[in-house]
Amino acid sequence: MSELHELSAVALAAAIRAGEVSSREALEHAVARVDRLDGPINSVVTRDLDAARAAAAAADAAIARGETDLGPLHGVPMTVKDSFSTAGMRTTSGAPELSDHVPTEDAWPVAGLRRAGAIIWGKTNLPIYAGDMQSYNEVFGTTHNPWDLERTPGGSSGGSAAALAARFTPLELGSDIGGSIRLPAHMSGVYGHKPSYGIVPAHGQIPGPPGSLTQADLAVAGPMARTVEDLELGLSVMTGPDRWNSPAWRLELPPPRQRELPRFRVATWFDDASCPLDPEVATVLHGLSDRLDAAGCGVDREARPGFDLTKVAERFYGLLNAALAGGYSVAELEKFASAEGDGPVAVTKRQTAMRHRQWLSNNESRLQMRRRFEQFFEQADVLLLPVMPCVAFHHDHSEPMSARTVTTEAGTRSYWEMNRWMAPAGACYLPATVIPVGIGATSGMPIGVQIVGPYLHDHTTLAFAAALAELVGPCPTPPAFAG
């Protein structure tokens, strides 16, 4: 059997059920690896080992008794992002005012993982209130990328991605409103799935404040892992109606449109003047198109959904900033509304303070684009997009965030350009799966691709990701964490 830290969640669960390893042994192996290797990374920031060891002992006792009605993650130790409430375990969302907050209830996705048998022993780092493309805060400090300590692992699920890349956990729970699953998956070289909006109830996530019942526009919770099989399992145990709809409906997602790579109708959108790719990213992604062609998978490089990246990004940023407005006071919003100028700081402020009539206009435009995507996916099964125009960038914690710039192969770019390719799937509520497909020739950093599908066709993007993984190879390991 492979080293325990290299096993997928599915493989580890099978080994535990077969008696090849105990849940307690798997837990202690994970803890020891974090103790030995996480210091420079700083990904796992909170632990509750007493509760985890008791849960592992109970899982082992159930197997010893011969119980067969076991969940698919029975006895599997894992960590989750520190924005998700965990009963009895500190949950801070990186905020100093919540540094001692211990919830009494699990967030709904956490509860789903526990029902499946998972043992949640630790929490992973993030930016304060999950509000950045980097992962640092005053409570726990900065998380570094296992591929290059001078670079960010991404955000806001950066601790999640770093812990996966370093083989500290086989499965993670992330969240995504502006790319917070997809960006770290790309930057850290792991797998991530942003579900269709509304299929994973995320009650119990912070923000909003503890106890909030609102589920923000655009925001989703979803799995992160190192195999597609684990993404599928993680999604399956978390999906369902939210607390308001559970009396009346159940969820049954459509089956995959295809499973074999040559049978997929693939469109690629790798070029757009509003966010050109760095040469090393373009080389990997266009090379991927060529490999798909060679594998017998016809690729349409010209198909578009009827709008360009600029238009969907404008709507996305407007809707995103409006969704984040709840964290500001009325006085702050009134001040934001009067911001002058066309720079990124002023634009962000005005979008955050937009009137409801403006939001309604943005929403109608979003619905029109969703309709265009419905028509687009009548002719294609998946659309491949970049995740970012560049690889993981170097740490920059300067304020204000919207005034930051990023130096890349193609020159200096604005900070918000880093998540522009998040806009099509994000604004239009579409599922998007990210897997690593190559290593940058200049940087030596991982590069991912974003696999987007029709609304509610999550199993199609996951099935394509599984077929693509057979072509491009398994999840890469950062050199310092091999073995």
Give the mean pLDDT of 432-442.
98
Give the C-alpha separation, 71 to 49, whole Å.
21
Within 13 Å of residue 421, how many CA atoms lie on the same side as its CB? 28
What would the pLDDT profile of 204-226 be if each residue is shown by its tens digit?
999 988 988 888 999 999 999 99
Q: How confident is the model at residue 89 (pLDDT cuts 50, 70, 90)?
A: very high
pLDDT at residue 344, rounded to an integer: 81
Question: Are β-strands 411-414 and 432-439 bridged in parallel, bridged antiparallel, or unpaired?
Answer: unpaired
Q: Domains (ranges, CATH) in the chain?
A: 4-238 (3.90.1300.10)
pTM above threshold 0.95: yes
What would the pLDDT profile of 305-363 be if each residue is shown by its tens digit?
999 999 999 999 999 999 888 777 888 888 888 888 888 878 888 888 888 899 999 99
Q: State yes or no: pLDDT of 186 exceeds 70.
A: yes
What would the pLDDT profile of 1-56 be if each residue is shown by its tens digit?
569 999 999 999 999 999 999 999 999 999 999 999 999 999 999 999 999 999 99
- Residue-averaged pLDDT of the chain: 96
pLDDT at residue 24, rounded to an integer: 98
What are the respective helix, strand and coil percentages of the chain, to the nearest 5?
40, 15, 45
Closest CA to 322 of 357, 359, 347: 359
pLDDT at residue 1, rounded to an integer: 58
Q: State yes or no: pLDDT of 232 exceeds 70.
A: yes
Degrees, nearest 5: CA angle 136-141-146: 70
Q: Which two tokens stand for residue 192?
A: 């991530």
Residues classed as catalytic? 81, 156, 180
Percent of the chain whose predicted confidence (pLDDT) is above 90: 89
